[in-house]
A and B are shown apart, each in its own frame.
Chain A
């Protein structure tokens, strides 16, 4: 019983981190139909930048995060403008953007390797100490992570619901000709979507970097998890990604408890295949 409850809590924690990580993937796909095969490395870049500012330059955590996020926004926008935008005008853009982002991911992974070296890094905990209630033992840091993810996701959904740009993003996600007819500048919204998704993804990298370790290659593992989550939840659906991440986080924790950690991937992929067979649009489906 104690173990089970602790497993539930740890599943909730990793689930919320996975949710944050998968959101960027589903936002880009939802709006522009580009499947970002360089997604994991983007998260890694956000984490490394913050680590560098924190550890090498001694910048305080909040400022380091803000600076990295500003960089990620510019990076996303510029990458879209210079590379994805011209590719989208080609007839077989779906395939070319996948290959291009895969190549860009490998390139960026090696840039991170050259700049920061192969040694494992980690971002220090936000707070020390542990909450003990009866048999429950939770790190304050991990509770804080959940709170941060909840706040971030709430802020994001308010942005999509009420801001002019957020509404335009949803409009483009639901109907590109409809968006054109009401006067939305599609390419501008695509650019802002990449900027937003890179910020969200980079931010999730920071959170992941405080709980797990960082190396230049870890992004691929994160990305495969992201793929399972967004397919499970419904490609392009933000609420679906959050629900799927929580379910898969819990499945991971419970499988680890009763069967051992080596069973996590097989179980994840069996679930993934079952969802693909029975409900290819994902558990929630629907658009942003």
Chain B
């Protein structure tokens, strides 16, 4: 479904991605691990069009999308949920979710997707008319994930969904991601520091270090300790 090949990315003169290659197959959950500041978020941003790559190729459902503007990539059914959330703070939860269905192809499925979002995050249904600037960190994270789901996507890329959340909220977010995969059959690429939780739901994992893929494993064939060791 997604094939990244020899991707190179720079911030100014600083090379962040050094020929990264990875692939995600339809229906898979793939986790991307690695220490902070080694290019995981940049890779997701390059795939979704927020950070144009300098070289390499990104194929999504058979079409080359490297260098396309972000809005065209969303229209092809690839959703990115940023770590920073980037919610519309002075709008309500519901307005944020509706804006998630901005792409043309998503508008017919608004009702179905909204029901699903409220099904996995009942909390958002209660707070639907609340301004996003008044939400807790965990609730805001739920809105960000929900907004991504509203775009009628086939691949969901989630960047550190549990960061900064209380243990209870972390569980709620991981449960929701598991539900998204199991009930909707959604393909998921997740970047996460909570190795244990992410590993449990992943079919495959990649470990990224210094802007390169260090290794790739099947989810069942690797232990948390081995991943942690690779960080140093």
Contact = CB atoms under 8 A, between A and B. Distances in A.
Contact of A167 (B75, B84, B90, B95): B95
Contacts of B23: none
A175 B80 CA distance: 15
Interface stretch (B97-105, B117-125, B211-219): B97-105
A175 B85 CA distance: 10
A183 B70 contact: yes
A182 B82 contact: no
Contacts of A174: 88-91
Contact of B86 (A164, A168, A177, A186): A177
Nearest to A237: B90
A185 B49 CA distance: 12
B88 A171 contact: yes
Interface residues of A, number: 19
B100 A182 contact: yes
A83 interface: no
A175 B99 contact: no
A286 B87 CA distance: 15
A181 B87 CA distance: 10
B96 to A, nearest CB: 8
A286 B88 CA distance: 12
Contacts of B95: 167
A167 B99 CA distance: 8
B50 A180 contact: yes
Contact of A183 (B50, B86, B103): B103
Given A178-B87, A180-B50, 13 more contacts: A164-B102, A167-B95, A170-B90, A171-B99, A171-B102, A174-B90, A177-B86, A178-B86, A181-B70, A181-B74, A183-B70, A185-B71, A286-B90
Interface of B: 48-50, 69-71, 74-75, 79-82, 84-91, 95, 98-100, 102-103, 147-148, 151
Interface of A: 164, 167-168, 170-171, 174-175, 177-178, 180-186, 286-288
9 contacts: A168-B99, A170-B90, A177-B50, A178-B85, A178-B86, A181-B86, A182-B99, A183-B75, A286-B90
